[in-house]
């Protein structure tokens, strides 16, 4: 397994993604699905208009708004389970930190098209996007709960800037639209049980269709400055930490949070 992961790490480095087929057992997916479907149902009821009109994802799945103590502990234990931690640590050996979770589903409106983007484009201007892909990366671990068309991505774009076509399409410039096809796009179809690991900052899009419902786990390297992106409520509380077999991923985030708070506090004097 460790040898295998080393090979995958090299693949991630070169391509910006890798997929491990049948990574999860059927029973793991069945029990995860139960918790996620509970969240999804409550979230849809609470966000009915948004869901009907434009939504294609939700986030903060591990938070306290829709799930109770036991379900949250189940999720935390799933996310930091031995085999997921082995994958995360193969990519980030030094204190990987938990950022968030997102749930991706099909938009209700069939006119809504899947769109190319880099996640960092929503927070950074173009010059800073170039820096982000050069210096740091947020990694997504996609866990499909049902078979899905998956993700289309452009291998290698986690480390290189866009060509003219890619830039015009994802930024919708020169009359191009972000749902157009791109010549170097690679479609990765996924089945329930597979794990797809990819860089959030590479050029990619989710492919709408089938009954997709995918849990994305977002992690980052502790040396990168992403702590402001973490919502306290999606972290385990003290009582939960006691029930998590391996809470290092969350403790790393909490440590970063408290360091950040302390340094902000000092700055304000």
By beta-carbon proximity to ligand AKG, the closer residue of 73 and 199 is 199
Binding mask 124-143 for ligand AKG (x = CB under 6 A): ----------------x---
Tell me which of 98, 104, 220, 226 binds ligand AKG, using CB under 6 A.
104
Quick check: 57 and 105 in contact, CB under 8 A? yes
**What is the C-alpha to C-alpha distance for residues 163 and 41, in angstroms, rounded to an integer?**
41
Does position 16 interact with ligand AKG (CB under 6 A)? The reply is: no
Return the range that interacts with ligand AKG (CB under 6 A); candidates 42-50, 171-179, 200-208, 241-249: 200-208
Q: Segment near ligand AKG (CB under 6 A), from 24-32, 127-135, 181-189, 199-207? A: 199-207
Rounded Cα distance, 242 and 236, in Å? 10
- CB of 140: closest distance to ligand AKG in angstroms? 5
The piece of 14-22, 122-130, 183-191, 198-206 that touches ligand AKG (CB under 6 A) is 198-206
**Position with the least CB separation from ligand AKG:** 206
From residue 22 to residue 61, what is the string marking binding to ligand AKG with x (rule CB under 6 A)?
----------------------------------x-----
Which of 200, 213, 217, 240 touches ligand AKG by CB under 6 A? 200
Among 16, 185, 193, 206, binds ligand AKG (CB under 6 A): 206
Binder to ligand AKG among 216, 227, 240, 247 (CB under 6 A)? 216
**Minimal distance, residue 33 CB to ligand AKG, in Å:** 17
Binding residue count for ligand AKG, defined by CB under 6 A = 8
Q: Is the dihedral of CA 155, 160, 165, 170 positive or negative?
A: positive
194 contacts ligand AKG (rule: CB under 6 A): no
Residue ranges binding ligand AKG (CB under 6 A)? 56, 104, 119, 140, 200, 204, 206, 216
């Amino acid at each position: 397994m460790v040898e295998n992961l080393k090979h995958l790490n090299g693949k991630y480095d070169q391509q910006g993604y890798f997929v491990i087929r049948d990574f999860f057992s059927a029973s793991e997916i069945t029990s995860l699905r139960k918790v996620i479907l509970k969240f999804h149902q409550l979230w849809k009821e609470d966000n009915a208009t948004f869901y009907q009109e434009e939504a294609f994802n939700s986030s903060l799945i591990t938070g306290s708004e829709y799930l109770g103590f036991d379900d949250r502990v189940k999720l935390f234990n799933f996310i930091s389970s031995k085999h997921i931690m082995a994958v995360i640590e193969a990519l980030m050996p030094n204190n990987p930190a938990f950022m968030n979770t997102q749930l991706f589903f099909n938009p209700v409106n069939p006119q809504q098209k899947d769109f190319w983007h880099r996640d960092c484009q929503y927070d950074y201007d173009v010059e800073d996007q170039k820096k982000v892909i050069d210096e740091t990366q947020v990694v997504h671990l996609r866990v499909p709960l049902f078979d899905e068309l998956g993700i289309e991505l452009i291998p290698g774009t986690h480390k290189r800037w866009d060509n003219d076509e890619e830039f015009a399409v994802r930024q919708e410039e020169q009359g191009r639209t972000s749902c157009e096809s791109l010549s170097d796009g690679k479609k990765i179809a996924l089945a329930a049980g597979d794990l797809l690991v990819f860089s959030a900052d590479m050029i990619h899009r989710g492919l709408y269709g089938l009954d997709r419902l995918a849990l994305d786990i977002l992690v980052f390297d502790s040396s990168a400055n992403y702590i402001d992106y973490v919502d306290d409520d999606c972290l385990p509380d003290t009582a939960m930490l006691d029930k998590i077999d391996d809470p290092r991923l969350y403790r790393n985030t909490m440590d970063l949070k408290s360091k950040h708070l302390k340094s902000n506090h000092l700055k304000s004097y």
